[in-house]
Amino acid sequence: MKLAIVGKGGVGKTTLAAALARRFSRLGRPVVAVDADPDGNLASALGVPEERVPRPIAQMRELILERTDAKDEGAGLMFKLNPAVDDLPDRFSVDAEGTKLLVLGTVETGGKGCMCPEGAVLKALMQHLLLRVADDVVLDMEAGLEHMGRASATGVDALVAVVEPGMRSVQTAARIRKLAGDIGIRTTFVVANKIRRPDELETLRAALSEDNIVGTLPYSDELARADLDGRSVDVEDRALAEAIEGIGEALEKQLGGVAVSQ
């Protein structure tokens, strides 16, 4: 299963990405959690200490030049658009209790935008993970909408937009859904986060009537404290654990029960 988790900043997309990756891993499924947010903290959410966080691929200048045959000088560079990347996930990921964590850094290219050696490597790596790797892949995408214009998540089985009570979050989710269709992602879901009262969920359901809400995450004081402390999402919160399990099961049912992309 290949999932891209998206949403505006602060809605909890990294929390959901880490929790789903943990769930897949605990089911005995190989999973790669990809931090594709330039300001990402997926490592923290997975409990990886700062000294073990892998260096972003986008910052590996010597590797990028080697793989693309580019020269580190001048303008109008010529370089390979389809560099070899199949060894990179194993070489540059770290183990997070059974989950492989890979940090991409800023994705500079895709459907449109800057074309550069770094962008070529990152685009090739994303497509390798989504189309050729048999593992489950959970992408924690950058906040907002810019990555949709670059078609960064093309190839996922589904795009999951995280929303919180509030119309700005809902508006962002609606725009993401439209842009997803523009780049060929036909399956989109919504997870409602930080729900405190039933009326909040009902308001979101009314506002997102055309979207498929696959689950809700209750507001958790313990999870908020873990975030402040830089601890992982593995908190002792039964309601949260049950919610994540329900979301995972709903996604598997909606996507035909597939464990990996075909």
| Residue 179 maps to a domain | yes
Q: Which residue has the higher pLDDT, 213 or 258?
A: 213
Instruction: Express each pLDDT in 29-84 by its tens digit.
Output: 999 999 988 877 899 999 999 999 999 999 999 999 999 998 866 555 688 889 99
Q: Which of 129, 110, 252, 242 is nearest to 189 (CA)?
A: 252
What per-residue confidence (pLDDT) applies to 231? 81
If you average pLDDT over residues 156-161, what whole number do you get? Answer: 92
Task: Work out the pLDDT band at 261, boundaries 50, 70, 90.
Answer: very low
Q: Which long-range contacts (CB under 8 A, 24 or more apart) does 203-209 make?
A: 203/165, 204/163, 204/165, 204/170, 207/167, 207/170, 208/163, 208/170, 208/173, 208/174
For the cut 60, the answer to whether the pLDDT of residue 148 exceeds it is no
The CATH number given to whatever domain includes residue 120 is 3.40.50.300
| Residue 262 maps to a domain | no
CB crowding 122-146: b at 16 or more within 10 Å, else e? bbbbbebbbeebebbbbbbbbbeee
| Residue 52 maps to a domain | yes
Measure the CA–CA gap between 249 and 214, rounded to whole angstroms.
9
For the cut 70, the answer to whether the pLDDT of residue 191 exceeds it is yes
| Residue 261 maps to a domain | no
| Residue 157 maps to a domain | yes
Instruction: Indicate the number of domains in the chain.
Output: 1
Task: Work out the pLDDT band at 152, boundaries 50, 70, 90.
Answer: low
For the cut 80, the answer to whether the pLDDT of residue 132 exceeds it is yes
Task: Work out the pLDDT band at 154, boundaries 50, 70, 90.
Answer: confident
What per-residue confidence (pLDDT) applies to 223? 85
Average pLDDT over the chain, rounded to an integer: 85
Give the domain range for residue 17: 2-254
Instruction: Express each pLDDT in 107-127 by its tens digit.
Output: 444 444 456 888 889 889 999
For the cut 70, the answer to whether the pLDDT of residue 260 exceeds it is no
- 225, 235, 251 from 221: Cα distances, Å: 6, 10, 26
| Residue 172 maps to a domain | yes
